[in-house]
Every structure is written in C-alpha cells, then in structure tokens.
Amino acid sequence: MAASCDSLLPLILLLCLSAQAVDRSNFKTCDQSAFCKHQRELKPGQSPYRALLDTLELSDSRLTLQLINDNNKVRLLLELYRLQGNMTRVKINELKPLKPRYEVPDVLISDPITEALSVVAQDENSLVLSLGGKDQRLIVSAQPFRLDIVEGPQVLMSLNSRGLLAFEHLRARKDTESEQVTGQENVEQQTDEVCDGQIKEEEDKPGMWEETFKSHTDSKPNGPSSISLDFSLPGVEHVYGIPEHADTLKLKNTDGSDPYRLYNLDVFQYELHNPMALYGAVPVLISHSTDRTMGIFWLNAAETWVDISSNTAGKTVFGKILDFVQVSNEVPQTDVRWISESGLIDVFIMLGPKPADVFTQYASLTGTQSFPPLSALAYHQCRWNYNDQEDVKTVDQGFDEHDIPYDFIWLDIEHADGKRYFTWDPSNFPQPKEMLQGLMDKRRKLVAIVDPHIRVDSGYKIHNEIRSKNFYVKNKDGGDYEGWCWPGNSGYPDFTNPEMRAWWASQFAYDQYEGSMENQYIWNDMNEPSVFNGPEVTMHKDALHGVWEHRDVHNLYGLYVQKATADGLILRSGGVQRPFVLTRAFFAGSQRYGAVWTGDNAAEWGHLKISIPMCLSLGLVGISFCGADVGGFFKHPSAELLVRWYQVGAYQPFFRAHAHIDTPRREPWLFGPENTALIREAIRQRYALLPYWYQLFYNTHRTGQPVMRPLWVEYPDDVATFSIEDEYLIGKDLLVHPVTDEGATGVTAYLPGKGEVMSKSCFSVLYLYFLCLVFQIPVFQRGGSIICRKDRVRRSSSCMENDPYTLYVAPSSQGSAEGELYIDDFHTFSFEVAKQFVHRHLSFSANTLSSRNLAPDSQFSTASWIEKIVIFGGSQPSSVTLKNADGTESALEFEFGSTLAVLTLRKPGVNAAADWTVVLR
C-alpha cells in the first residue's frame, strides 16, 4: 500500500488515495536535490586529485596511500584490497575528518577474505600491482589520480578516468565559532572559481548548509558531505541492475535526463519507464559483453544517483552496422558515475569473468537468498482487506468449491485493532486462533501485516514499551520523531539499533503476540519508511539514529525491519522453522531475510509487462524471491488482463494476487466459469512445478545464482539475448515468454542455444511464432534437461509433500539430458543443521536413465516415489527395464505416441531417494 500526501488531514489523505497516478511533484529531481545538482555540475576533465606515491604503505592484506586535492589541499586516504574470488575493493575516506563518516554495517556477511597484493613495477607517476592470475594488474596513476584494472593488454575498468572523483570534506560552517577547523590544518579557504572544468568547493552555494523542498527544511547540521566517482567500462554496451526502477532491463543512457535514483520511497502508483526512485535500492550494477561480465557494488546507504553514458547511445541499428562495415575505430564504452549524499566511497569490483562468477562473488559478500518453506513458493491470496473471520472462511471455502489450490491467505492493516500492529480487531477478528486453526486443519497458512510505524497511544503496549526503552528514532532536537501514517500520529522504531531489533523479534513470541500461531507469517509494508507528512513521503534526513543522521542510513531501514521480523519468526520456533517475511523496502543483503514485491502497481497491461524486467533486475543483484501483485494493486483488471496476469505470475518466483481496498472483489472465481477455469489451470501449473521451483531455490540459497534470469546469463555469447526482456529463464531449463499484450493470440519467441526445435521442449537459435490463445502459456523446456513435477495437484502444497514425482526428460540432439531432484521436510532448518535432505542427480544418455546421490553424507527418508517418466523425441523401444540398487530387475509398462514422439513409462515405483536405472532397448 502507499500514500503520496503532504498533509496531516485525514480527509486530504483520502483524497490523495483516490489519485490516478504518482504525483511527481512530491519527489525530487536531481536539480531539486542540492548535492546531486552540485555534483552533476562537475564536468569530465582533468581531476584535481593527485596520488602521493611516497605515502604508500603495503601489508599482506591492503595497500594505502594518500590522495590530495590540489585545489583545496584536502587529503584523502585510499585503501586497496585484493579479495578472494577475483574481486577488488576500493575505499576512499577523508584522511582526518572532523568527525567519523558513516560506514555501512551488517550488509556484508563477514569481513571479505583478502589475498596478498604485490608491487610489480613503480616509477615517479605510477604504481603497478598484481591481482593474481591471468596477468591481471591494478595500475595506480598519480597525476591525475586514476585506477585501471587490466588483464594483459585489455583495460577491464577504469576509475576516475573522467576526473569526476569529488569528495566534499566535512568542515565547519563559516558563520560558526568553529571556523578554525580543528584537526584540518591542511584545509585552505574555499573559493567559487572554476579550474579545468572542476568547480571548486565553496560554502555559500544554495542547499549546502540548509535545504528546503516544498514545506520541509533539512537543517544539514554537518553541511555538505557528498561523494562521487566515475567508472569507465571499455567494450561494454549493456549494463543492468541498480534496482528498483520501473524501467527496462538494460539500463538507459541518462545524458540529458535525470540519473537513476536509489532512495527508498513510498511511491503511489508509480509511472513506467523513468529513473525515479521506488521502494528499494540495491547499489549493484552488472556489465556484460561477449568478452566478460563484471559487477560494481557501491556500498553506501545514503541517497544515491547513478549516471550512465554510452558512446553508442542513440545510434540506430543501421549506424552500428555501418560502423562495423567501415571498421570503425570507436570501441563501445559505457561510463557510470555514482553520486551519494554522505558516507564514504566503498566499492567492490567483481571481475567475473562469467555471469555465474559475478553472482558467486556478490553472494560471497552479502549472502544468498534465504531458502523459503515450500508453501511460500505456492499461491498466495490477498487483498486490502478481508473484512473479518467470516470473510476469511468464505474465501477459503471458495477455493475448495472451485477446486483451486492455495497456501496462504493474507490480512492487511484493517485486521488490527485501530491499526495497532501485533493486535487483532476485537469486532472483526475476535477469535484469531480459531481462524488460524481452521486454516491449519486444511494445511493452509495466513500472513498478517506488521508495519514499522507505531501508533502513539498511551493505551498501546507496544508503543509504551518502545518509548520506555527509548527505542524510537529521534528528531533533530532529541525528542521522539513522530509522523503520520496509517494509524495517525506514529512513532518510528530505530531498527538500526540492535537492541531494538532484538526486542522487536521477541514480540513475535506466541505469548507476546496474542492470537498468533505457527501457521501465521508476516508482511512488512511501508518500511521505506513511509511518513505521509514527511519530505518525499518519508523521514526527515536530519532525524537521528543514535549518533547518525537518517540521511546516512535511509536505504538500510527496510532491510533492518525485515531482518528483525525474520529473526522473530525464527526465535518463536526455537530456531527450528524457516521464516517467511515479505518486505517492500530493501537494500543489498535483503535477500537473506525473505521476499520482495514490486509495490503498488496498477491493473494495466504496461504494469504487467514491466513486472518482468523489474524482477529480472532484482534477481541479477541477489534477490531472487520477487513478484508483482497479480491483477494490479490499483484499478480493476479486465478478465483478459487478469487471466494473463495469473499466467505470468505462475511463472514468477513470488506468486500473490493483491488488490486495493477500493477495487471490486476479484477472487479467481468471480469472472465467469471460463475465466475461472483458465486461472485454475495457471495456478495448477504452478503447483505441478513446485518441485522444480524448490530445487532452484535450494540451489540459489547455496550458490547465489538467480532463479528467474535473463537469457544472456545462460547464453553470454549470444548478442541477440542482451536486450531481451519479454521472455526469461527459470533456472536454465525452462524458458517462459508470457503474453503481455492485450488481444494477443501469439508470441514470437527467441529460442537460444544449439539443436533442433522439438515442440516446446528444445531451445534453438531461432525466432518462432507460437499461437497462444487465452488458455495457453508459452513455456519451453530446454533440450538436454530433466524436470521433476508433481502432477497430482491438491488443495495446498503441504498436502502434496509425500505425493509421487513425474520426470519429464527432453534429450538434446545428442540424445542426453540431466536434471536434479531435491527433497527435505520443506519447512525447517534441518536440511542445514542436520543434513537431512535428498539431493539426486538425474541423467539420461545412451537410452539409459539413472538417479545418483549427490549428497551421500545426508540422512533423510521420503515417502515419495517415481510415478511416471515422460521422454520426448525418441523412438519406440522394444522393452524397458528397471534396475534397482539391489540389482533386481523388472520390466516396465510403456506407451509410445508416434505423432509427438513421446514415450511414457508407467509406475516405475522406485523411492525418490533410491538409486535406480531405467534402460530402453
């Protein structure tokens, strides 16, 4: 949910809620953000920074040397680290700051492991360091200061090659008594002159010491503190990442427009195809070319703007072909510039070289996607709001009556007593345990919302405890910060405080959260944080989190809320149960704590279409558990749009229908029997494929590889895939091309790879048009793969846990295929702490299909068995023999469909955890 209002009056809030689209005047452009405007006035040119090579200090783990700004004589400290796994870390801070500058905690899972740096060459103006194998070098140029990472003769990446390093040092305001700048003996008087394209720092530029936006004033007690650094990527035309934006997968050139903004905001019904900030911010950019994939991780939690320039931007396809024919000497290059309001420069350069390597490198820094319980990967039914317990019961029964499976029903803010979170409305939800038990009896679950704004009410236990423990964020004058949100006047817990987070986690205990049970899970909304009467509908930047201003920590707030909530769900179970927590706001590392969704979208075809690149972008930067509100949160979808959205949602990682309180009801059976049948089939397809989704989430939890991924991730040399965003891969074995255009009866799918096309079961280097009537979802299985399904679909995933598996084998043109099967108890940490799981490798070659144990040390038994095997594209065998692990053999029944060349083996009957072999003769 979202609001976009700048008033305290409830009436005005309601009027705002009925608006048709985002009010962009509520949100800053770069020109309205003083530090962004000031930094962007710096133009590429000779950098004023010089490296003082005589200050070099080298240890086993790092190199340090000083930089000096020759305009103002301020010195910076440069730290360089070579990290394990083909990464380099660059940190730049003031050498002697007036006070410490904020360094982001808790995002890195540990201190990165360093490897030895060594100097291989040095002269009076440069320093060459070895970065290990493949002749990788880091070259430090002294005047002007510049860093180049090279591999042999090839420059992989350059820092400050455009001279846009700019570090606003902390300094005393001229009109204060501390003008003597204690501890900054090397700081000289600033002027307003321009030298070599660089604007010198001065202290009287508008917005440097105080800034006003609309009716809000930012006091900026520490003055200007922004930072900037440019990166050049030779040979690169395609860059991705830096979510969250409702924009294309490939990032656009920002010359002549606003940069991409990273600043977590409550944006009401966001616009499409612009770089304005949304609910989450992950400061990670991925570059890709046929030669190499690399990543830049800018570890800064303050408001950040990212400029992207390309020397091929704006060229037509004909222009690029002409360059090729004429053997143009112009090498493609993309330049990226990061600008943050405060903090320091702390950047991780991930050198790949393959896409999978970059994902592994980033996961080694910030962790992998949490492994959700199986039920969280199933279908979720939500709206703002189900009215009462009887409504919940009626909707639950409706799914049974229409034979539609679901696992979770959700309750929004109206379920609580006066929007006091951790409570239940006594009139509408008087017996929450009775409601939860009714769902549990059907092996279903519930999610209730718990938002991080707390009603200021002396009769509310949660508020009283937070206030008594002094856990609220403070305003600039030291009192508790208060603002307006759904309950009215609200306080905002300081989730940056670990003591506050521990207390919050304790509130999910069953004896604290009265009425809750083990089948209740949690949703954190509005955690940007949303402040209806705050600047840009969020918290004032000069609010205080301990000694730090909110401007320093803003983009971290949502991560901390989700972390504290996930910790609480784990704690309440004694550390046994895996949690499920959905968040709207997020940052780098949020993947460790649960799922995200794309916020307050609308029931429009454009919003359906944009959900694909939005989730693909998140997967590239570690957050695989992503989805969009099926049907659109705002407005009322047509039956066609709703059906197509269910068909898309069934093939995205997080699958939830959600709707605004003012929209007509839209449970799956309310659009007529024909549409009910189509929606039912889409949901049933999701349930049948749950074994594949679950195995992919297990793998992403182990490795960091995205679940939903662009085609270029698996086909990195195929240039045709680099800009495709209307189709995608689930893992490497399923390709989905959803129908996202109104009235469409077909799609033109690009099938990458090598080999023949075999009726939706093989990929090939081809564009093919597929007829897709409203009852069809274009999904293709890769030739060379084996996918496990459960084709007995029941009312919830929990009811299917012990059901048998069907294996779908799609051999490659060479006649081979492989896949995996993963099984555990589907909801606890036993897979991790006690190695209680089954992990099998399935392979098909030379007409032999076998199952091999990938985890011989694990201990787990399953009641599931192999019910059926379907093999595409072969010939009819004369016999089929099953060989068990004990050496016994038996003949299998089979049938062969010659029209589609499909061989079906009936009832092998082997346990899913056993070794076995099937031989076709």
List the CATH number of the domain containing 808: 2.60.40.1180
Decide if 289 is inside a domain: no
Q: Note the pLDDT tens digit of each residue in 133-160.
A: 768 999 999 999 999 999 999 999 999 9
Q: What is the pLDDT confidence band of residue 8, given thresholds at 50, 70 and 90? A: very low
Structure tokens, 489:
């006047």
- Radius of gyration, CA atoms only, the chain: 28
Decide if 806 is inside a domain: yes
Average pLDDT score over residue span 843-852: 98
Decide if 493 is inside a domain: no
Q: How many domains does the structure of the chain reveal?
A: 2
What is the rounded distance in angstroms from the CA atom of residue 735 to the CA atom of residue 782?
7
Question: What HEC string does 491-544 produce?
Answer: ECECCCCHHHHHHHHHCCCCCCCCCCCCCEEEEECCCCCECCCCHHHECCCCCE
**Same domain for 577 and 437:** yes
Q: What is the pLDDT confidence band of residue 200, given thresholds at 50, 70 and 90? A: low
Decide if 65 is inside a domain: no
| Nearest one of 139, 98, 138 to 115, comparing CA atoms | 138
**Same domain for 523 and 429:** yes
**Same domain for 668 and 580:** yes
CATH number for the domain harbouring residue 659: 3.20.20.80
Q: Note the pLDDT tens digit of each residue in 673-684.
A: 999 999 999 999
- Weakest-pLDDT range from 154-158, 402-406, 771-775: 771-775
Q: What is the pLDDT confidence band of residue 365, given thresholds at 50, 70 and 90? A: very high
Q: What is the pLDDT confidence band of residue 4, given thresholds at 50, 70 and 90? A: very low
What 8-state DSSP symbol labels residue 111? Answer: P
Q: Is residue 602 classed exposed, middle or buried when 0-12, 13-18 and 19+ CB atoms within 10 A define those classes? A: buried
Phi, psi (deg, nearest 5) at residue 723: -115, 10
Domain boundary residue among 689, 709, 729?
A: 709
**What residue type is 350 in one-letter code?**
M
Tell me what pLDDT residue 204 has: 67
| Nearest one of 615, 605, 622 to 654, comparing CA atoms | 615
In the chain, % of residues over pLDDT 90: 87
Residue from 6, 266, 357, 525 carrying the catalytic annotation: 525
**Same domain for 511 and 382:** yes
Q: What is the pLDDT confidence band of residue 564, given thresholds at 50, 70 and 90? A: very high
Active site residue 600: yes
Decide if 685 is inside a domain: yes
| Nearest one of 336, 357, 363, 355 to 289, comparing CA atoms | 355
What is the rounded distance in angstroms from the CA atom of residue 129 to the CA atom of residue 856?
44
Tell me what pLDDT residue 20 has: 59
Decide if 362 is inside a domain: no
Task: Reply yes or no on whether the pLDDT at 198 is more than 90.
Answer: no
Average pLDDT score over residue span 334-359: 98
Tell me what pLDDT residue 286 has: 98
**Same domain for 892 and 796:** yes
Domain boundary residue among 709, 736, 757?
A: 709
Q: Is residue 814 classed exposed, middle or buried when 0-12, 13-18 and 19+ CB atoms within 10 A define those classes? A: exposed
**Same domain for 698 and 797:** no
**Same domain for 781 and 702:** no
Could you tell me which residues come within 8 angstroms of residue 829 by beta carbon, excluding any fewer than 6 positions away? 575, 576, 577, 578
**Same domain for 685 and 788:** no
Phi, psi (deg, nearest 5) at residue 551: -60, -30
Q: Note the pLDDT tens digit of each residue in 75-98.
A: 999 999 999 999 999 999 999 999
Q: How many CB atoms lie within 10 A of CB 569?
A: 21
3-state secondary structure of 120: strand
**Same domain for 693 and 583:** yes
Alpha helices in 274-354, H assignment, sequence order: 317-325
**What residue type is 285 in one-letter code?**
L
Task: Reply yes or no on whether the pLDDT at 663 is more than 50.
Answer: yes
Q: What is the pLDDT confidence band of residue 12, given thresholds at 50, 70 and 90? A: very low
Decide if 184 is inside a domain: no
**Same domain for 784 and 700:** no
Residue from 6, 148, 407, 600 carrying the catalytic annotation: 600
Q: What is the pLDDT confidence band of residue 757, given thresholds at 50, 70 and 90? A: very low
Tell me what pLDDT residue 675 has: 97
Q: Is residue 59 classed exposed, middle or buried when 0-12, 13-18 and 19+ CB atoms within 10 A define those classes? A: exposed
Tell me what pLDDT residue 640 has: 97
Structure tokens, 259:
């940069």
**Same domain for 912 and 783:** yes
Domain that holds residue 833: 775-920
Q: Note the pLDDT tens digit of each residue in 201-231.
A: 455 689 999 999 999 999 999 999 999 999 9
**Same domain for 794 and 703:** no
Tell me what pLDDT residue 535 has: 98
| Nearest one of 425, 400, 423, 285 to 350, comparing CA atoms | 285
Structure tokens, 635:
């407005």
Task: Reply yes or no on whether the pLDDT at 188 is more than 60.
Answer: no
Phi, psi (deg, nearest 5) at residue 432: -60, -35
Q: For the whole model, what pTM was predicted? A: 0.94
Structure tokens, 898:
């010659």
Tell me what pLDDT residue 323 has: 43
Task: Reply yes or no on whether the pLDDT at 58 is more than 90.
Answer: yes
Q: Tokens 């962790």, residue?
A: 367
Q: What is the pLDDT confidence band of residue 763, given thresholds at 50, 70 and 90? A: very low
Decide if 252 is inside a domain: no
Domain boundary residue among 709, 740, 767?
A: 709
Tell me what pLDDT residue 192 has: 39
